[in-house]
């Protein structure tokens, strides 16, 4: 328990170092563009694949579960939309990104730590925490909401596709369902969540890597730890934000 | 000149540096020697402030480094170059970008000026043709040379080298040693080198400090080292079979 508080303290101090004044803006801009590509653009494929499959599966599941003369068919489209926007495209996508991006960040920074690259930066007088971590945080906080929007679109299209393909319901009714009781606030809510998730995934993973010590075994452990802790924090954060924003 | 006064450093209750006082002169190659695990790296990293010492003070010329805050240290770090044991080049950047980084961050030079300076430094270490290679594409000797180029790009007044020739073949080792020694003379740098290699000692050592289990056991010049009346030092110096035979032959 004491160790937990110690770690939280260490994490807060690290974040203070990360958000202290950057060395030179031009260099940061270049690094942010690079990280957007490495952490954001490169995650589009994975996001697309899981979103389309989940979109299809949710639509099928809803069609089977809601098989009743008392429930209008368009409810299937409606339910798919709600599931995708409210939970899947933000929370579940964030969990998957925690696995991909989080482990990537932790092992990259951890390797830099054990091969003394971080020491080398410090010797030059560079604020290594800010130089390495800030561009990653800015890049993911900016880019992940786009991944969430992308996931919603792909997932919902997947549902439409499967309706068309299997004839399990009339695609026109699916579209009606998508339009039913739609509040744009739901999207704002999902994107707000994603901004928080992006920050936590990146900063926690960077923290795990930054304080890795020893050898490659430790880097492996740091990267596992990054994924586990980010995932737990995402779940807790999801509950808290839902409580705050939705009620 | 760099001076350490009574420095003590422990990790989790284990004392690794025990009350070390030592002075390293300007324009000469100072060597810290000792067996693996004796505390050389910890001493070097304490001198540059990568480890905070528990007790004692460290002076860079007349400035007491150990009491400075982050900002003031940063000012001194502009004059410090360091070569790490594994090179510590940034994996994601090319050799050129690695060498150029300090210029990018801390100078207002134009791209043209920076490129000229980088070319000059890479040429000095015979790496003209490696500008666009990544660290993973370099041999061990090339990594060390690129690290030297990066360390001297800002014209340092102090140069620290942690086992600059570990993992290199004997011939390349001598090239690297001489390179560091020549640069020290050329720019009148205070250079401190960690090594466990007796060849380096005989080749470039001017002042030599022998560390034994975290204590300063002996210091002197390379001429004294062969005749020093000190069992641990003699064990270290004459560890190789050939050195032993040479000694016996002299007797
Ligand atoms: N960061 C650290 N935490 C704990 N112990 C350390 C740390 N760095 C070095 N040590 C210990 O200090 C001793 C000296 O290590 P080092 O200075 O690396 O030896 P060498 O002379 O081979 O460079 C070793 O026993 C090592 O275990
Ligand atoms: Mg060492």
Question: Does the CB atom of residue B16 touch ligand 1 within 6 A?
Answer: yes
Whether A123 and chain B come into contact, CB under 8 Å, resolves to: yes
Cβ under 8 Å to B: A residues 11-30:
23-24, 27
In angstroms, the CA A79 to CA A222 distance is 39
Phi, psi of B189 (to 5 degrees): -95, 150
Provide the pLDDT for residue B247. 74
CA-nearest residue for atom 24, ligand 1, is B37
Element (H, E) at B87: none
Provide the pLDDT for residue A94. 97
Q: Which two tokens stand for residue A131?
A: 């130089």
In angstroms, the CA A158 to CA A59 distance is 9
CA-nearest residue for atom 8, ligand 1, is B42
Tell me how far the alpha carbon of residue B140 is from its chain's centroid.
17
- Expressed in angstroms and rounded, the spacing between residue B37 Cα and the centre of ligand 1 is 6
The closest alpha carbon to B29, from B202, B154, B230, B234, belongs to B202
CB-CB contact of B52 with A79 (8 Å): no
For B17-48, the pLDDT digits (tens) are: 999 999 999 999 999 999 999 999 999 999 99
Q: How many CB atoms lie within 10 A of CB B123?
A: 11
Provide the pLDDT for residue B241. 67
Could you list the pLDDT tens digit for every one of the 247 residues in chain A? 889 999 999 999 999 999 987 778 888 899 999 999 999 999 999 999 999 999 999 999 988 888 888 888 888 899 999 999 999 999 999 999 999 999 999 999 999 999 999 999 999 989 999 999 999 999 999 999 999 999 999 999 999 999 889 888 888 888 988 888 888 899 999 999 999 999 999 999 999 999 999 889 999 999 999 999 999 999 999 999 999 987 7
Q: What is the phi-psi region of residue B192: left when phi exceeds 0, alpha when psi lies from -120 to 50, beta otherwise?
A: beta
Which one of B13, B34, B41 would you pick to mutate in the ligand 1 pocket, going by the greatest count of ligand atoms within 8 A of its CB?
B41
Asked if B105 and A122 come within 8 Å (Cβ–Cβ), the reply is no
Per domain, the residue ranges of chain B are 1-79+158-219, 90-155
Mutate to test the interface with A, among B11, B50, B81 (most CBs of A within 10 A): B50
- DSSP, collapsed to helix, strand or coil, labels residue B106 as helix
Q: How many CB atoms lie within 10 A of CB A237?
A: 18
In angstroms, the CA B44 to CA B51 distance is 9
The verdict on domain B1-79+158-219 having CATH code 3.30.70.260 is no
CA-nearest residue for atom 18, ligand 1, is B41
Provide the pLDDT for residue A12. 97
Q: Which two tokens stand for residue B168?
A: 């290199």
Secondary structure of A32-53 in HEC code, one letter for each residue: HHHHHHHHHHHHHHHHHHHHHH
Q: How far is A15 from chain B (nearest CA, A)?
A: 17
In angstroms, the CA A223 to CA B203 distance is 44
Tell me the C-alpha to C-alpha distance, in Å, between residue B237 and each of B148, B234, B240.
Answer: 27, 5, 8
The ligand minimizing its distance to the Cα of B14 is 1
Provide the pLDDT for residue B136. 96
Asked if B84 and A27 come within 8 Å (Cβ–Cβ), the reply is no
Q: B75: which residues sit within 8 A by CB, 6+ positions away?
A: A125
> In DSSP terms, which residues pair with B162 in a beta bridge?
B194
In angstroms, the CA A20 to CA B71 distance is 12
Element (H, E) at A169: none
Asked if B84 and A119 come within 8 Å (Cβ–Cβ), the reply is yes
Q: Which two tokens stand for residue A85?
A: 């926007």
Q: Which two tokens stand for residue A247?
A: 């009620």
Q: In chain A, whose CA is at the least distance from the CA of B103?
A: A124
Provide the pLDDT for residue B1. 93
Question: Does the CB atom of residue B11 touch ligand 1 within 6 A?
Answer: yes
Around ion ligand 2, which residues have CB less than 5 A away?
Answer: B 41
For B57-106, the pLDDT digits (tens) are: 999 998 999 899 888 888 899 999 999 999 999 999 999 999 999 999 88
B235 pLDDT above the threshold of 90: no
B222 pLDDT above the threshold of 90: no
Residue whose tokens read 């260490």: A10
């Amino acid at each position: 328990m004491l160790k937990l508080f110690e770690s939280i303290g260490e994490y807060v101090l690290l974040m203070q170092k990360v958000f202290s004044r950057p060395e030179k803006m031009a260099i940061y801009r270049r690094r942010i563009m690079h990280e957007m590509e490495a952490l954001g653009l490169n995650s589009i494929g994975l996001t697309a694949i899981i979103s389309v499959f989940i979109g299809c599966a949710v639509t099928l599941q809803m069609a089977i579960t809601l098989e009743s003369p008392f429930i209008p068919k368009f409810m299937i489209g409606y339910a798919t939309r709600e599931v995708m926007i409210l939970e899947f495209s933000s929370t579940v996508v964030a969990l998957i990104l925690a696995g991909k991006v989080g482990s990537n960040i932790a092992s990259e920074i951890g390797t830099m730590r054990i091969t003394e690259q971080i020491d080398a930066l410090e010797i030059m007088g560079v604020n290594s925490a800010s130089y390495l971590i800030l561009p990653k945080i800015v890049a993911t906080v900016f880019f992940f909401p786009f991944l969430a929007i992308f996931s919603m679109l792909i997932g919902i299209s997947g549902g439409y596709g499967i309706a068309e393909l299997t004839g399990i319901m009339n695609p026109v009714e699916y579209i009606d369902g998508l339009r039913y009781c739609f509040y744009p606030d739901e999207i704002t809510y999902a994107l707000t969540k994603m901004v928080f998730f992006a920050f936590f995934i990146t900063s926690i993973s960077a923290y795990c890597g930054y304080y890795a010590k020893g050898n490659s075994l430790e880097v492996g452990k740091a990267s596992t730890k990054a994924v586990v802790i980010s995932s737990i924090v995402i779940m807790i954060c999801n509950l808290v934000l839902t409580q705050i924003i939705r009620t | 000149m760099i001076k350490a006064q009574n420095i003590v450093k422990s990790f989790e209750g284990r004392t690794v540096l025990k009350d070390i006082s030592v002075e390293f002169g300007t324009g000469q190659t100072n060597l810290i020697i000792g067996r693996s695990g004796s505390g050389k790296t910890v001493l070097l990293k304490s001198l540059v402030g990568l480890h905070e010492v528990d007790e004692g003070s460290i002076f860079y010329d007349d400035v007491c480094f150990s009491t400075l805050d982050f900002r003031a240290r940063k000012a001194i770090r502009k004059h410090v170059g360091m070569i790490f044991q594994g090179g510590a080049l940034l994996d994601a950047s090319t050799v050129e970008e690695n060498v150029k980084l300090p210029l990018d961050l801390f100078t207002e030079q134009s791209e043209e000026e920076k490129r000229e300076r980088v070319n000059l430094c890479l040429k000095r270490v015979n790496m003209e043709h490696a500008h666009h290679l990544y660290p993973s594409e370099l041999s061990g000797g090339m990594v060390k040379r690129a690290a030297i180029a990066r360390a001297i790009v800002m014209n340092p007044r102090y140069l620290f080298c942690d086992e600059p020739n570990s993992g290199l073949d004997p011939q390349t080792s001598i090239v690297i040693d001489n390179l560091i020694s020549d640069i020290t003379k050329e720019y009148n740098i205070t250079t401190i080198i960690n090594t466990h290699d007796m060849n380096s000692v005989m080749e470039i050592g001017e002042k030599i400090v022998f560390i034994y289990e975290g204590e300063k056991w002996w210091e002197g010049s390379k001429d004294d080292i062969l005749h020093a009346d000190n069992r641990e030092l003699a064990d270290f110096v004459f560890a190789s079979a050939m050195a032993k035979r040479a000694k016996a032959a002299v007797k």
